[in-house]
Amino acid sequence: MWKLAFMDKMDEGTRIQELLGDLASQSPSKTLKILGAMPGLSFVKHLINTIVFHNTTNEIGHPDLFIIMPGHHYEFLTDSSIQLGKHRTVPSLFQLLFSFKILTKVPKLHFLPWTVEQSNKKPSLMDDHFLYLVNITQKEKLPCPPEYLPLLWYYFKPQTFSKTTRVIPMLEQWIPGCGVWLITGQDPPDTIQHIVSSNDAALPHMTIFTEFGDLSLQQKLTLFKRFVSWPEFEQCPFRSTMESNLPKFATHLNDDEDKSEAHFEELENSDSENEPENL
């Protein structure tokens, strides 16, 4: 479907609609319920990639998952310190795109194959003798307009911002002189208004010493939306730099099965958990 969606995007075709037939729907209330077990994080990364790079492929509904997963994976994705300033790409995007909750837990022994606990695994607050049934649902409202999602993905990449990156000096590498708008708390008069919202989290008092890790997740999102709404943004090299760093599946799709790998890890290798081969 990614290939068909990519081709439709290039020539404004209707291949996806023709493939899905009566299953296709543009209703924002339609959901696609998925039940299963998830021993690793690849499927979550696949969902994030699909929303970020192929958002037009939601014709069969927004995903509503009921998934059995290990507790430490759930902890990684829903780490509350991400909301407070910790910087990791996958959990940040996951928490911006999805709602989530634990429904119940089930004994791990009920699932095969049994696994041996890794000795180097980080301590977990969740019971390692159980797996957790969780409900993961795509939020009805995207964190930004869909055409800006790839920019948001690149914005959260660690090579763009790290926890200790000073915000204003970094942004001024893209738009010289933009720091004055953050320090004064104002925006240029010809800002693109439909990107920003009065409901966006308020930024703290910004100085040239404010670091990315000083901002909460919602404040990072506010900063991004203000940045891309400034009139100088479309002339700055941020978009072209993002496009040159897109993962392979977002730039071309190859018919050769040997070369059309999923590239799940291209979302972010550096902050992925160590995933066991077996559950």
- Whole-number average pLDDT of the chain: 81
Q: Of 165, 182, 169, which Cα lies nearest the Cα of 227? A: 182
What distances in angstroms separate CA 157 from CA 110, 152, 160, 161, 245, one per listed residue? 38, 9, 5, 7, 10
Element (H, E) at 48: helix 42-53
- Looking at residue 3, its pLDDT comes to 63
Each residue's pLDDT tens digit, 178-213: 999 999 998 888 888 889 888 899 999 999 999 999
Residue type, 144: C
Write down the pLDDT at residue 14: 66
Per-residue pLDDT averaged across 245-258, rounded? 57
Amino acid at site 59: E
Q: What is the mean pLDDT of residues 64-75?
A: 92
Q: Quick one: pLDDT at residue 93?
A: 96
Q: Which residues contact 199 (CB under 8 A, 6 or more apart)?
A: none
Least confident piece of the model among 17-21, 57-61, 270-274: 270-274
What's the pLDDT band for 86 if we cut at 50, 70, 90?
confident
Question: Going by C-beta distance under 8 Å and a sequence separation of 6 or more, which residues neighbour residue 277?
Answer: none
Edge to edge, the sheet with strand 98-107 lists 31-37, 62-70, 130-138, 98-107
Average pLDDT over residues 95-115: 89
> According to the model, what pLDDT value does residue 260 have?
37
The mean per-residue pLDDT over the stretch 260-264 comes to 42
Return all residues near 55 (Cβ < 8 A) that are at least 6 apart. Answer: 142, 146, 149
What per-residue confidence (pLDDT) applies to 145?
92
Q: Which residue has the higher pLDDT, 267 or 36?
A: 36
pLDDT for 205-245, tens place per residue? 999 999 999 999 999 999 999 999 999 999 999 999 998 88
Pairing of strands 62-70, 98-107: unpaired
| Percentage of residues of the chain with pLDDT beyond 70 | 72
Please tell me whether the peptide bond between 113 and the residue prior to it is cis, using omega within 30 degrees of 0. yes
Q: Does pTM top 0.85 for this prediction?
A: no
pLDDT of residue 4: 62
Q: What is the predicted pLDDT for the residue at 261? A: 42
136-148 mean pLDDT: 92
Q: Range with the lowest mean pLDDT among 5-9, 92-96, 126-130?
A: 5-9
Bridge-based pairing state of the strands 62-70 and 31-37: parallel
Q: Which of 135, 138, 137 is nearest to 69 (CA)?
A: 135
| DSSP character at residue 276 | P
